[in-house]
Structure 1
């Protein structure tokens, strides 16, 4: 089957070209691709249908100018970058997606998806914003059932209950692996850097053979543990670094200027909190044979502690428990410009940190490099504060 590349393919850098060629090979093998944006995506249904799932969130500023021809300039950079890459055909994963799946986690995304639907086949799953209620779960189960029907209709297939149960087991296996990856940060000193943790987490989603993904992730975790035991971990032989928890979402376009700056200054990012944080990895889907698998999926995904949920005490509990378990010295909330739910909720994160006696700092940024030095200065000042507190014995 002949599969065409975009006309501007030769203009892309090597990494982007490799992505296009990898996806082109998959398509030529007859695989179909579903592009997704969020942790609320019920991935088990995509897996059960035998389809490839790939993340489409924008992570760079390069596509934002194109997006701003259609979208407001003061919109969240993640939304603009995601749309711009589809518009410009510069993302290999969006370019080859046969169906794009969105979710109503914020008003900006909802309206962007209306426009994206003119560029790609689109399905939007509607999220209830009140957690832990019987009505929310009933509605959410119906939405997940509707997504299953959309997959069956779009790809002319039938998703069996047994296939869903197998996919649930695979999904739980992956969650356990990713929880182990985060738990490398519990070591003292940590057995992995925060940047490497993110790199493994992000890179694994582009290994489309699940068994290969599991093997490579497990091998990397075991390598980190072995290096640590041999005294060759990333912080071996050094003074114990400050232990930082990163809170927030949409970190992909900010990693180097925030996480990189923290670690270049000598501190260690030991865990992440938020939609993709440790709690989402530890919460498994019920595999009981007498449990309705669609209901089990609905129950799990309704527990994702996104800032769009209100009230959202589960997220505050997650922050407090992570501070204790990972022995956190300081928490940094990262908020993208115009992301109001996370921006507002950072205040509650700060109150939870105050309860635990741990300093908290909020950073607001976008995908452009203009504020790199300003962020560096603020981060270094915050770390100096933490060092001073540590010397004074105010935090274990």
Structure 2
């Protein structure tokens, strides 16, 4: 195996982007630039971008603050919800601390009730997310996006024009296209990079607040990797894994390590920190840009949707495009919507795509690393 020699520092830069952004967000505040924080891929960030705000993803991927959260929230709640609340309450998340407002959404019951507690110590704007992608739901979501726009205009004393919204749409679409080009590199057989390097860019890019610079940097990395691959620098051939399920990152990167340590390579992430968040673009030339925004965001195939037809549609495309050998689903403990949906996804992968499937339930602790490795090793060996 010939390791790429010139790229590790780039992957490290993306991996460290979250820490770098801690300093950047303070600089934004010092310059008087509003900061809008959010947790979910349903957050229509282009509206906040159109008023010149910096948008940031808030801390939610570590067990560090869960004990603090459990003073108010039940112990048998999803770790992502508890961590989100704990980081906010304990002021251990710089992004949360510097956010002028946190934008929440009524996805699962746990999150929407958690936002009620959070609103006691932070300004929270809660968007009512429809639980279906029907025409009625689309109309409601368009109204919610317009309500969010009006809220920002009143709170910050600005005017968010259609022209500014369209400019923000074009800017964020470029980031999505750049990321799709980047993770498209994993179509190669064998792969040009390993799972951790793939994930470091996908996850790290979410913390780059300068979106124009983000698209440029991602495309530069993609071009360099493609050049190195053409010169024969590539990884060994390994079983090709797709990871689906709950948001992955931070503590749950233990699953990525388990795949790598047991001889596999993750060629695609369907999760919110992967293709699900960037697969679709906003129609830039739409007659009504707010309808286009609503349509794009509501089409995200999250398990909170009923029915959730877009998740298997995206999974099927990724399985075919990336020549996947097996699918691993990661479900966080007490995440009921993903847990209940596991049966449908298993049948889709097994019966319609003819591939092996395994679902792993975990949390943010490292206590199950040994068991997780054993299950992943057996799955990959079967492939």
Q: Which TM-score bucket, shorter chain as reference?
A: over 0.9
Shift of 1:278: 2.4
- Return structure 1 stretches of 4+ with deviation > 6 angstroms: 14-17
Q: Does 1:203 align with 2:204?
A: yes
CA 1:324–1:15 in structure 2 vs 1: closer, same or farther (change >3 Å)?
Answer: closer
| Secondary structure, aligned partner of 2:249 | helix
Shift of 1:210: 2.0
CA contact (8 A) 1:57 1:78 kept: no
| Secondary structure, aligned partner of 1:205 | helix
| Secondary structure, aligned partner of 1:39 | coil
Between 206-215 and 349-358, report the one with greater CA deviation: 206-215
The total of aligned residue pairs comes to: 367
Gaps of 5+ in 2: 1-15
| Secondary structure, aligned partner of 2:37 | strand
CA contact (8 A) 1:195 1:255 kept: no
CA contact (8 A) 1:243 1:327 kept: yes
- After the TM superposition, which residues 276-295 of structure 1 pair with which residues of structure 2 at under 5 Å, given as runs? 276-278=273-275, 280-288=277-285, 291-295=287-291
CA contact (8 A) 2:59 2:87 kept: no
What is the root-mean-square deviation of aligned Cα atoms in Å?
1.6
Q: Does 1:366 align with 2:366?
A: no
Gaps of 5+ in 1: 1-13, 387-396
Shift of 1:276: 4.1
Q: Does 1:41 align with 2:43?
A: yes
* Deviations 1:42-89 (CA, angstroms, capped at 9, x unpaired): 111011110000001411100000000010001000000011011111
Partner Cα distance (2:277, 2:247) in 1: 15
| Secondary structure, aligned partner of 2:242 | strand
1:318 equivalent in structure 2? 314
- After the TM superposition, which residues 262-281 of structure 1 pair with which residues of structure 2 at under 5 Å, given as runs? 262-278=259-275, 280-281=277-278
Partner Cα distance (1:86, 1:38) in 2: 15
2:339 equivalent in structure 1? 343
2:81 equivalent in structure 1? 79
2:296 equivalent in structure 1? 300
Residue among 91, 94, 100 paired with 1:92: 94
More contact order relative to length (CA 8 Å, sep ≥ 6): 2
2:222 equivalent in structure 1? 221
2:136 equivalent in structure 1? 135
Between 316-325 and 370-379, report the one with greater CA deviation: 316-325
CA 1:19–1:277 in structure 2 vs 1: closer, same or farther (change >3 Å)?
Answer: closer
CA 1:16–1:241 in structure 2 vs 1: closer, same or farther (change >3 Å)?
Answer: closer
Q: What TM-score do the two structures reach when normalised by structure 2?
A: 0.92
CA contact (8 A) 1:16 1:91 kept: no
